[in-house]
Structure 1
Amino acid sequence: MKVTLISIPVTDQEKASKFYTEKLGFIIKKDAPLEGGNRWLTLVSPEWQDGPELLLEPAPNHFEPSRVYQDALMEAGIPYTQFDVENVEAEYERLTKLDVKFSVKPTEMGTVKFAVFNDTCGNNIQLVENL
């Protein structure tokens, strides 16, 4: 068994697509239209194009429990998911220059350094560097 797809709820697929590709650097793997103006929109890391796909899931717009959960995580400041990076400080600097808003600046805790940013589509995302 292996993980091939991971969903992240987004309030606006088009806005999320631009943020995740233009600012974070992911690339679109699949983009197929679905009913109701939604899309099957998956992204992959350019460094691991055969790795797990990230589905930009419009569930908060159609499934109230998803919206409630997403809103509760955001209000509590809890990241929805995390992305590993080689250098949190460098990513923080790069993304800050692209106007990405961080709620937690690079911070060391034990064997990791992390930072948390807002993806503009309803989620806090944590960046993690193993020290």
Structure 2
Amino acid sequence: MIRVAMTSVYVDDVPRAHAFYTDVLGFETRTRLDLGDGTWFVTVGAPQGAQPDLQLLLEPGEGPVADPYRRAVYEAGLPAIVFSVDDIRSEYDRLSALGVRFPHGPREQGPTIAAVLDDTVGNLIQLTQPKA
């Protein structure tokens, strides 16, 4: 059996991304290593033991491949990653109260309800909840 252990999202500022993903979205820090020369290796994951074997690497998004890719995906309005939530409307309210910008709030999309937020470090993130 093959399972996802780690995936990455390109960000334009790793420390700012770490703060957003932990302080605002509520993820926990799994790994935070200073690699020197201002470079960090940072992973986050779902809190409280949920998905303990799955990590999200906050990948520096500079460079000839990552930067154009990240910008093109953002400008096309495509989410870089999708997170599932139990109650999308309460998450939308909670995050909006914290100042998170949503290009679109919760709305039905096929069998789900989805919303898209800006993670402040160059990405659009989709939140999704199955319809009841």
TM-score by length of 1: 0.94
How far is 1:119 from its partner? 0.2
User: Which 4+ runs in 1 deviate beyond 2 A?
Assistant: none
- Cα distance in 2 for partners of 1:100, 1:36 equals 31
Q: What letter corresponds to residue 69 of structure 2 in structure 1?
A: Y
- 1:54-109 per-position Cα deviation (integer Å, ceiling 9, x unaligned): 10001x22x22111010011111111010000111111000000000000110012
- Cα distance in 2 for partners of 1:42, 1:13 equals 10
Q: What letter corresponds to residue 64 of structure 2 in structure 1?
A: E
**Structure 1 position 45 matched with structure 2 position 46:** yes
- Cα distance in 2 for partners of 1:12, 1:110 equals 34
- 1:29-77 per-position Cα deviation (integer Å, ceiling 9, x unaligned): 111111431111000101415131010001x22x221110100111111
Q: CA RMSD in A?
A: 1.1
Give the percent of matched residue pairs that are identical in Structure 1 and Structure 2.
37
Within a 5 Å distance, the mapping from 1:81-96 to structure 2 comes to 81-96=81-96
- The match for 1:56 is 58
SS of 2:103's equivalent in the other structure is strand
- The match for 1:130 is 130
Within a 5 Å distance, the mapping from 1:44-123 to structure 2 comes to 44-47=45-48, 48=50, 50-58=52-60, 60-61=61-62, 63-123=63-123
Q: What letter corresponds to residue 129 of structure 2 in structure 1?
A: E
5+ unaligned residues in a row in structure 2: which ranges? none
Q: What letter corresponds to residue 85 of structure 1 in structure 2?
A: V
- Cα distance in 1 for partners of 2:110, 2:123 equals 25
- The match for 1:4 is 5
5+ unaligned residues in a row in structure 1: which ranges? none
